[in-house]
Structure 1
Amino acid sequence: MTLISFIIVLAVVGVFVYMGMKLIPMYSEYYAVKRALSELSTDPAAANAEPAKIRDLFFRRLYVSYSDNVKKEDLKIERRDAGYVLSVDYEVRKQLIGNLDVVGRFEASQEMRRGGGLD
């Protein structure tokens, strides 16, 4: 392997590492959202709570996970016959290089039954 080909390989690897540094936090936040939804569905304090209290408990869990991209309007709480369905739909935009952006669109939902049971 010549020096020039080694430098080219390093440049390509560097670009992929840089892209990973931008993408990994987006996905770790998504998994924190999914974990918060899952924990909330098994929380006895949220089992018979009103939607405002459920919203507060959800965002407290996200605050602990340092999730900054999920806003209050991204969480939808729908009443169903056995409880609520919580759905989170949000978008994350990170600058990649120059005027190129990486956009991640994430959706997660969880059914929450009265009494704290899972579906």
Structure 2
Amino acid sequence: MKKQKGLTLISWLVIIAIVLFNGIIALNIVPVYISDHSVKTLMKNLEMDSTVRGGTAKALKQAITKRLRINNVYSVSKEHISVKKGKDGYLVKIKYEPRGKLIGNLDYIVTFKHEARIPA
């Protein structure tokens, strides 16, 4: 009698189901992290940008919102952006929670928080 080599049909179906489930999760969550990378890059560039220095908190918030729209980041709105004046400039905080559907009634929530100091 020969011993079986390889996987059975049921084993293959289980492996394919696991791979498909992980693929669906990745297709839904990876874009969220890609847009967060854009937010992180924007905040890093904002600290070094001389055009935003010396303005008001409202102008700074509008500049951030405009740059987010240029980068196609629509999960961050004006309500998620906080600008506070300090001794040496402004402290900008972006805190947001993108939400979405995975499968059926299974949803995801991802929390992000970024800070930047804008010199006066």
TM over 0.5, shorter chain: yes
Deviation at 1:42, TM superposition (A): 1.2
Q: Find out whether 1:109 has 2:115 as its counterpart.
A: yes
Pick the aligned partner of 1:93 from 84, 90, 99: 99
| Equivalent position of 2:60 in the other structure | 54
Q: State the identity %.
A: 25
The aligned residue for residue 10 of structure 2 is 4
RMSD: 1.0
Q: Secondary structure at the match of 1:95?
A: strand
Tell me the residue number matched to 1:34: 40
Q: Does 1:79 align with 2:85?
A: yes
TM-superposed CA distance for 1:105, in Å, is 1.2
1:40–1:57: 8 Å Cα contact kept in structure 2? no
Where does structure 1 lack aligned partners over 5 or more consecutive residues?
115-119
Partner of residue 14 from structure 1, selected from 5, 12, 20:
20
Higher alpha-carbon Rg: 2
1:117 corresponds to? none
Shift of 1:34: 1.2
In terms of fraction of residues, the more strand-rich structure is 1
TM-score, normalization by structure 2: 0.90
Q: Distance in 1 between matches of 2:61 and 2:38?
A: 15
TM-score for the superposition, normalised by structure 1: 0.91
Structure 1 stretches of at least 4 aligned residues deviating more than 4 Å after TM superposition: none
Separation in 2 of the partners of 1:34 and 1:62?
11
Deviates more, 1:53-62 or 1:77-86: 53-62
Aligned length: 114
Question: How far off is 1:29 after superposition?
Answer: 1.4
Give the 3-state SS of the residue equivalent to 2:46 in structure 1: helix
| In structure 1, distance between residues paired with 2:70 and 2:45 | 13
- What one-letter code is carried by the residue in structure 1 that aligns with 2:58? A
